[in-house]
Amino acid sequence: MSSSPALRVHPALRTPSPAALPVATSRWVRVLLCAALKEPPMSHERYSNCIETCNLCATACEHCADACLEEDDVENMVDCIRLDRDCAAICRLAAAIMSRNGKFAQELCRLCATACEACAAECERHTYEHCRACAAGCRGCANECRRMAGVPSASERGGFTARA
């Protein structure tokens, strides 16, 4: 019966392999260790900025949807709430697929950018601070997702064209 050690050690340096470091270890520490040990970084690290942006956007959308439910004119916020919820779900899915270096990461990021642009356009129709903050988060996420997917930004394409 063979048991593998809990912590792999790089034979040349006798230091822990970056793959064995705790998840909480800083991304930059992992990148530096990988470079020092001449090991490739984990494949999802190339998506790290986009993953973080998608998760932040999803949180802003969830907050906006919840705050919209508290507004006096909630009947006028139905489209905003629906887009907030859809955008949050798509952002979280895109982040999850990128985290595991999924085959459809680029396609999902294109969809995420479209959803974020639609959500931002709807939120910009309202004067509430939570809608303004959500719109800003969505615009940033759309830009990051388009960059990651290799697609021109909305301004480079001449503005938002998706059906809202």
Q: Which has more confidence, 135 or 39?
A: 135
Domain ranges of the chain: 1-41, 47-157
| Chain mean position to CA 62 | 14
Cα angle 28, 24, 93 (rounded to 5 degrees) comes to: 90
Q: Model-level pTM?
A: 0.69
- Cβ 107 vs Cβ 73: under 8 Å: no
CATH 1.20.1270.360 fits 47-157, yes or no: yes
pLDDT digits (tens, 9 = 90+) for 43-54: 567 789 999 999
* Both tokens assigned to 8: 């792999």
* pLDDT score of 97 more than 90: yes
